[in-house]
Amino acid sequence: MRKSLAILLLLVICSAPFVACSGSQSTTTTPTAATTATSSTFGHPSTSFQLTGLVSHAGTFTLADLEAFPKVTVTINAQSLGAHSFGGALLYSLLQQAGIMTVSTRKNDILRKAVLITGTDGYGAAIALGEIIPRFANKQVILAYEEDGKPLPQADGFARLVVPGDAFAGRYVSNVAQVAVASPGPVPTLGAGTPSNAFYLDGQVMHPAKYDLAALKSLPTVQAISYSGVLLNDLLTQAGTVLDKKKNGILRLGVVAIGSDGYSVLIVGGEIAPKFGNVRVLVAYSTNGQSLSSDGFARIVVPGDQAMGRFVSNLTELQVVALGS
């Protein structure tokens, strides 16, 4: 209770205009400033955001900084928002320019990263790097500063996250205040990798469980590309995810998929939740009617990931991890 009060107070203080609230920096403000701060349902209008975390060049981004990138326009039709066009900078271009820090000895280490976008009201949503890298899912996720050819409505601040394909606009974080790159969850030991015959579903779930081929086959079968298996989302539902208390907790949850060789990648809740990205990620156990043989009894299949980097084979663990703060 006292902790949530402190967080609330911090949010109110951080909502005051012209007060910097980055990291450990402590700030003071007058009570009058705090009480006049909020003017919209999505926090006070932002005029810049901080890029933090695993990047070589962290820093502050303003409208002019976003406008310096090639403008990308996307047309969306989300429930609760309707049909709109949004113009802005590709999130991936911004991250590329800032230089995402990766571990060169880990194959596709970048696929283990998440970007948490947080608004001035503390609402946050995560994007997996695999969603936005061109050779994987290539989603045109933008930090939008224009809506229907005009500046964003003032209530959305100078920048709003736009995620084409998300059914409901839960990841459309308004008043962007922070963009943070992280490598959440375990860093599995790399090894030779032997064919797997079971995996554990654990981490932030109420009912951790072990799945073998028989357990998977007892669940509803779903097809994607040439694969058959079960929906990762169904496994999460069965395990009962532990969500934070804020709105749309699933948007701040991730799943680290780990193979017997220690290869690991991240899939985020917003990507697979039916209400949001609705990407039908499978835990597959057969392809063209055949078992996966050298790929183990089960592998991940992410429809839309062109280079198949997140198709973790010889699955040994699905660890559910918290991505928010």
Ligand X SMILES: Nc1nc2c(c(=O)[nH]1)N[C@H]1C(S)=C(S)[C@@H](COP(=O)(O)O)O[C@H]1N2
- Choice from 13, 19, 63, 307 touching ligand X (CB under 6 A): 307
Residue whose C-alpha is closest to residue 61's, from 51, 46, 69: 51
Q: Among residues 164 and 193, whose Cβ is nearest to ligand X?
A: 193
Query: Which residues in 220-235 are b (16+ Cβ under 10 Å) and which e?
Result: eebebeebbbbbbbeb
The residue of the chain with the least Cβ separation from ligand X equals 259
Q: Among residues 107 and 275, whose Cβ is nearest to Mo ion?
A: 107
- Choice from 172, 227, 285, 311 touching ligand X (CB under 6 A): 311
Interface map 94-123 toward ligand X (x if CB under 6 A): -------------xx---------------
Told to check if 145 binds ligand X by CB under 6 A, we report: no
Q: Among residues 130 and 203, whose Cβ is nearest to Mo ion?
A: 130
CA atoms within 13 A on the CB side of 118: 22
Q: Among residues 131 and 146, whose Cβ is nearest to ligand X?
A: 131
Told to check if 312 binds ligand X by CB under 6 A, we report: yes
Query: Which residues in 274-291 are b (16+ Cβ under 10 Å) and which e?
Result: eebbebbbbbbbbbeeee
Told to check if 190 binds ligand X by CB under 6 A, we report: no
| Residue 319 Cα distances to 61, 107, 155, 200, 208, angstroms | 33, 19, 37, 8, 10
Interface map 240-279 toward ligand X (x if CB under 6 A): -------------------x-x-x----------------
Told to check if 47 binds ligand X by CB under 6 A, we report: no
Token pair in block for residue 165: 């394909």
CA distance 142 to 132: 10
Told to check if 178 binds ligand X by CB under 6 A, we report: no
Interface with ligand X (CB under 6 A), residue total: 13
Told to check if 309 binds ligand X by CB under 6 A, we report: yes
Are 171 and 279 spatial neighbours (Cβ–Cβ below 8 Å)? no
Are 314 and 284 spatial neighbours (Cβ–Cβ below 8 Å)? no
The one of ligand X, Mo ion, none whose footprint includes residue 81, by CB under 5 to 8 A per kind, is: none
Three-state DSSP class for 115?
A: strand
Q: 217: which residues sit within 8 A by CB, 6+ positions away?
A: 285
CA distance 63 to 260: 45
Interface map 114-153 toward Mo ion (x if CB under 5 A): ----------------------------------------
The one of Mo ion, ligand X, none whose footprint includes residue 86, by CB under 5 to 8 A per kind, is: none
| Residue 276 Cα distances to 219, 228, 234, 250, 268, angstroms | 23, 23, 15, 10, 11
Residues that bind ligand X (CB under 6 A): 107-108, 193, 259, 261, 263, 307-309, 311-314
Residues that bind Mo ion (CB under 5 A): 309
